[in-house]
Amino acid sequence: MTQTMAVAKALNESLRKALENDPKVLIMGEDVGKLGGVFRITDGLHKDFGEGRVIDTPLAESGIVGTAIGLALRGYRPVVEIQFDGFVFPAYDQIVTQLAKMHARALGKIKLPVVIRIPYGGGIGAVEHHSESPEALFAHIPGLKVVSPSNPSDAYWMLQQAIECDDPVIFFEPKRRYWDKGEVDVSALPGDLHRAVVAQQGTDITLAAYGPMVKVCLEAAAAAANEGRSLEVVDLRSLSPIDFDTIQASVERTGRLVVVHEAPVFYGAGAEIAARITERCFYHLEAPVLRVGGFHAPYPPARLEEEYLPGLDRVLDAVDRALAF
């Protein structure tokens, strides 16, 4: 039952499967219906499941998420699409003050199984507000689960697991990987949604990444291999919770760690990972934990984004610096 799919197609098939399996699953967002979404992730679902389950909404992110919360309170499982990463901020109040806190506020008696899908990151030549990486803002909030797939197989399975989860899940989709293809075993049993995986084994240094940067790290590992260096790549998959055990086990083998993400390094997810791994692996580390990411500046115009985005050279430079200790 293995099929070759792009990430976008895998997400579409995952949503279709969820709609088929549970009549309480709803999809809602701007242009998700007849248009099929700006990236066509919901293509064909409105036609096959109807406007009562694939719902075109007004341009009102706060209202979309607030409505999803109300639907979840009534027993539905809404899957919300935020059209672009930079559009989520009008809904941030609903997410932080209501969605993330309702379960604790009700002493565990209320569950809010809401998934918020957010295409994020740069690399597509878009205009302002269309290339943000705000994942750390959500990972910082107790009560939210935050995940990001890096490949078609994870996109297919992780989205279904997120929809089945009784807790709110922020599902970050690396938009510049939408067209990357890979094998998807639609009959396999998925692993733990929040478990990191070793995407490539190595012995000299660990690269930890998630979402769009996993591919860059795999390319860095291939380039380093030509120089006789062995890089291990850990795909984090989940940012809240973070699977520190898998990272720790890798670092105990390699003695070095570079954390890579597209978001700015300053107060990014890499800071928490670096601090935790330094605490856990102090006597195993042969070098300081290094971080590679975006600059602490607004995302630039499209013509400059290649200078802003962490690429192969910046990752390999960090590898060189870590191995120099």
Burial 121-151 (b: 16+ CB within 10 A, else e): bbbeebeeebbbbbbbbbbebebbbbbbbbb
Going by C-alpha positions, the residue among 276, 274, 256 that lies closest to residue 265 is: 274
Which of the residues are catalytic? 130
